[in-house]
Amino acid sequence: MSIVDTAKQATQGLVQGAMQKLVPLAPDSWIPGGRPDPLIARKHGLIGKPTSRLDGALKVTGEAGFAAEFRFDAMTYAALAYATIPRGRISAIDSIAAENAPGVVVVMTHRNAPRMNTPGVFGSSPTAVGPADLPILQDDRIHWNGQPIACVLAETQEQADHAASLLRFSYDEDPSTTSLAGAKANGIEQGLFMGQPLLNHVGDAEAALGTASHVVDQVYRTPRHSHNPIEPHAATIAWVDGELMIHDASQMVTAQAQTIGDVFDLDPGQVHMTSPYVGGGFGCKGLWDHQIIGAAAAKLAGRPVRITLSREGVYRVVGGRTLTEQRVALGANDDGDLDAIIHTGLSIMTPHNNMPEPFILGTRAAYACPNITLQVEVARMNMLANTFMRAPGEAVGTFALECAIDELAVDLKMDPVELRIRNEPDKDPVSGIAFSSRNIVEAWRAGSERFGWAERSALAGETRDGEWQVGMGCATGTYPYYRMPGAQARITLSRDGDTVRAKIEVAAAEMGMGTATTTAIVGAERLALSMDQIEIGYGDTSIPGAIMAGGSQQTAAIGAAVIAAHNALVAELLRLAGNDSPLAGLSADAVGSVDGGLAKLDDPSCRESYASILARAQRDSVTVTEAASPPLELMHWSMHSHSAIFCEVRVNAVTGEIRVSRILGSFDCGRILNPKTAKSQFRGGIIMGLGMALMEETQFDERNGRIMNPSLAEYHVPVHLDVPEIDVLWTDIADPHTPMGAHGIGEIGITGVAAAVANAVYNATGKRIRDLPITLDKLL
């Protein structure tokens, strides 16, 4: 990263640190969520009822348009060529054969690419979402094996792919670091995440560990993971009258458009980006080199471009989860009370971005303990920039912590569930602030009963079914409640005679989790209208505000923005109602939405319909736009989603084959808004966790920094036969301090799964695997 970017992050970190000291001291009433959202009290409305996704029929019938399905006239098709060394310079390019190939429109390299600014790296400003602080096709430098170094445009995709295969490059290699040992030897530094150091000290954990009656002290390792959304990355791009139009698959539409605009010296209004449908994201559908290359190629050729990454291209261009080495040391007394928690270790990054795997985040609030040391250090390698991947930090950190807890339970001869419940904290163990809502014990109890945990044998390797060894394991998971700043909502209330409709627009992204449906449910409840009276707009830079689909925070961000916009709408409707309305003279605080209109909160008979108010004001519609309140609740309370994962495995004693035969997730995530889509989210996360536990691993050649398994034939993910029936339940206890009482659910599903599987494998075989994935060679 540049000195300027590092300074910006340091400044942001200082400001955030000061706020974290002051905000907890404020009265609850000063904080968003200090008064419970009125929707929490509604027990018989739309919230909590299973509702089918609004976009479901469109996707099933093929009417949903994805990024690579948009068309412009005279469109060209792009193919990329990738570097095959980890570091150095391009010394020569032979492009004659490619340029003369059938259908080729242009071959773009650093020699003829338009001049562009370096994209702002993620975190360097509120709107910067670049993957690294590297110029794109502006010089001859190579920074990783797989870097895009040329783009071919042709009349068809097949012609472009063929021509790209004809390009030949020569290199002058520079010394590079492509091994873990080399990265360590070059030096280790303190890790930062979102501008804050990944470092916490409470008490003296090493001293407490030295005097503990029972000690577990082990190292756990997790490998690289690559993103594999069903929809590979793609964008359809055109320059129209000096403005840039991009149809993309993006989790961060507004910020991404602004970052691309800065690359081409465009004002925000000169970049129009849409992303109505995203075929899976999980943290990877953001800004990478291909969108900027596509826009540059369209500018160079003077024609629209469709750029679609092949599956291999995704592995070369799009980052994933980086590897970790984690030490977890636990000390406890004979009763199982924790007296020391040490969770430290190493994560790997590139020299050009600042995205370590923050594996200690979940440990901060996991267990009551008077002595805690947490730290993530980083070393750097010349490789593809790593990025967010579902439950960044928590997914891999929980594997280490929860395996260690299981090892401690074995040493104590204590039931693993009871050990966890015994160490349940009454306040945040690191920050000392109160939890906004924490009902994980209820989740543990309900899950234990439903799964039949009491039938588990405490002796490892005791239960057999023929040549199959059978075992049960469990793990807890936690993922923070987030609500990022920048969210706005625009509500347009319109009438046609006595018929009223509302359009709610938010700068959000829909990538398969049912965001539009949940927004419609919340909007209908907030406005006291039916679902068929609500229309949702999203995924377009013409909508004000910025909402990133990440960090399991989009529902909270949208909910807070809709609260603010609804309050503004009520005030505007009261102004329009005038003195002839039954509501005349009432303040906005005294009025709420009831049955298609406004009514006095303590006297619902004093009311007027929306249609009547608009008709008297001689208006067909009214529009309000409002920003959500700053997310100060994050600093005032310790806020988290929680999981209790139970797993049964069968391990073949002859072949070492592992089969997960049963798995259950019991969740504490506040109020569940739509059980139908929530169940899908939980199950999807659990399946991704099974992949992490048993098969997913990006094979990285430490000789030359090349990813060696860049396809779904070689990078294994769970298929139907790998996945048993997944049981899911939840507490459904509302958090009084969040919009709708809800917490995020997108990432808690994966958290804890790998540890539960590993602990079940130990219970089945007596073999403790501390190095993911758990493959049969490690059991034989």
Quote the CA–CA distance of 229 and 604 in Å, as a whole number: 49
State the Cα–Cα distance between residues 114 and 120, nearest whole angstrom. Answer: 18
Task: Compute the distance between CA of residue 751 and CA of residue 389 in angstroms, rounded to an integer.
Answer: 12
For 32, phi then psi, to 5°, come to -55, 130
Query: What does each C-alpha distance from 685 to 99, 449, 613 come to in angstroms?
Result: 46, 22, 46
What burial letters (b/e) apply to 536-547, b meaning 16+ CB within 10 Å? bbbbbbebbbbb
The CA distance from 327 to 496, in Å, is: 65
Do 630 and 485 meet the contact criterion of CB atoms below 8 Å apart? yes
Rounded Cα distance, 390 and 688, in Å: 9
Q: Which helix (H) or strand (E) holds 6?
A: helix 3-22
Q: Return the residue matching tokens 């406005």.
A: 527
CA distances from 588 to 598, 626, 738 (A): 10, 15, 21
Two structure tokens written together for 773: 């994935």
Active-site position among 231, 325, 505, 747: 747
Task: Give the three-state DSSP class for 371.
Answer: coil
Rounded Cα distance between 732 and 671, Å, is 5
Is residue 128 a contact partner of residue 121, using CB atoms and an 8 Å limit? Answer: yes
SS3 (DSSP) at 333 = coil
**CA 741 to chain CA mean position, Å:** 20
What the block records as the tokens of 141 is 């430098």
Q: Is the dihedral of CA 731, 734, 737, 743 positive or negative?
A: positive
Decide if 747 is catalytic: yes
Question: In this structure, what are the phi and psi dihedrals at residue 316, rounded to the nearest 5 degrees?
Answer: -80, -35
Integer Rg of the chain from CA: 27
Neighbour-count burial for 567-602, b at 16+ CB within 10 Å, e otherwise? ebbbbbbbeebeeebbbeebebebbbbeebbbbbee
CA atoms within 13 A on the CB side of 280: 12
> Residue 91 CB: number of other CB atoms within 10 A?
11
E-assigned strand segments in 241-363: 243-248, 271-274, 305-308, 324-332, 338-349
Measure CA 146 to chain center. 24
What pairing do the DSSP bridges indicate for beta strands 468-480 and 464-465?
antiparallel
Question: How far apart are the C-alpha atoms of 107 and 112, rounded to whole Å?
Answer: 9
Query: For residue 202, with 0-12 CB atoms within 10 Å meaning exposed, 13-18 middle and 19 or more buried, which class applies?
Result: middle
Rounded Cα–Cα distance for residues 597 and 573 (Å): 10
User: From edge to edge, which strands make up the β-sheet containing 88-94?
Assistant: 141-142, 88-94, 168-173
Question: Which amino acid appears at position 346 of this protein?
Answer: L
**Spatial distance between the Cα atoms of 65 and 35, rounded to a whole number of angstroms:** 41
Query: Reduced to 3 states, what is the DSSP secondary structure of residue 86?
Result: coil
Q: Determine the Cα–Cα distance for residues 749 and 153; give it in Å rounded to an integer.
A: 41
**Look-up of token digits 């670049």:** 130
SS3 269: helix
Nearest residue to 350 via CA among 319, 324, 374: 319
Q: Left if phi > 0, otherwise alpha if psi is -120 to 50, otherwise beta: which for 391?
A: left
Look at residues 629, 615, 521, 609 and name the one whose alpha carbon lies nearest to residue 567. Answer: 629
Instruction: Give the active site residues.
Output: 747
